Amino acid sequence: MELATEGPGGGKISVLCDFDGTITLIDTAEFLLDRYADGDWRRVEDLLEDGRITIDQCMSTQFAMISLSRQNMLTELDKVVVPRPGFSRLLDACSAGSARFRVTSAGLDFYIRHFLAANGWGAVEVVAPEVMDNGSGVSFRFPPIREPQARNFKEDQVLRERASGRRVAYIGDGVSDLWAALSADHAFAVRASRLDRLLSREGKEHRTFTDLGEVAEALFPSPAGLEVHGP
């Protein structure tokens, strides 16, 4: 299946992309929680998947378990975080295809901006909760939701783009990406990720990938017609 990326107006596609575990190979929040959380943060994650708490409540509860300064978080993460292969290619393809590209992440905004800038991608647009130091740790101020039917801010971002007449490709790997991916025109999930499994369970057509170049190729097929792996 080839995905046409331009409507009658040309270039009317928005590519919204999760950060943790999608643009990066590891989940930065999970890495920090695994090492520094004082409490059962995975149980909180299960409550989110069961729909018993919101993503806002999930992140705030989890990071309340961590006492680590912002600078120490940066230092720890810089040792281990690397970009997923193909990210540069995806950005170039979006740019060449006049597509809007935006990171939509429930993660640590200051780390995301730090990571992007350090890799030469500082101009990339980011929508993420604002992390605020509160003395002993951090708390989160989530992006406002404007679309009444949006179930979290990621889905709100998708619905806003659609409301402005654009088609949306959503790329992710986790529970917090589910509603956004369900509302998107084209859903992409990291192969064998939680999102991949959840989308299959929901019966939502989606493509899977391990290299973001596969997403670039699906959205903006090259003349050579490289093979794209999918479900």
| Nearest distance from C-beta of residue 47 to Mg ion, angstroms | 17
3-state secondary structure of 100: strand
Distance CA 195, CA 26 (A): 15
Which of 5, 13, 16, 21 forms a contact with Mg ion (CB under 5 A)?
Answer: 21
Interaction between residue 129 and Mg ion (CB under 5 A): no
Nearer to Mg ion, 5 or 151 (CB): 151
Distance CA 198, CA 207 (A): 13
Nearer to Mg ion, 177 or 214 (CB): 177
Beta bridge partners of 138: 133
CA 163 vs CA 41, 140, 167, 226: distances in Å: 36, 27, 9, 32
Distance CA 192, CA 159 (A): 26
Nearer to Mg ion, 5 or 158 (CB): 158
Task: Please identify which residue in the block is written with the tokens 């973001």.
Answer: 212
Nearer to Mg ion, 5 or 21 (CB): 21
Question: What binding mask, one character per residue, do residues 170-189 give for Mg ion by CB under 5 A, x or -?
Answer: ---xx---------------
Stretch that binds Mg ion, among 10-18, 55-63, 157-165, 211-219 (CB under 5 A): 10-18
Instruction: List residues binding Mg ion (CB under 5 A).
Output: 18, 20-21, 173-174
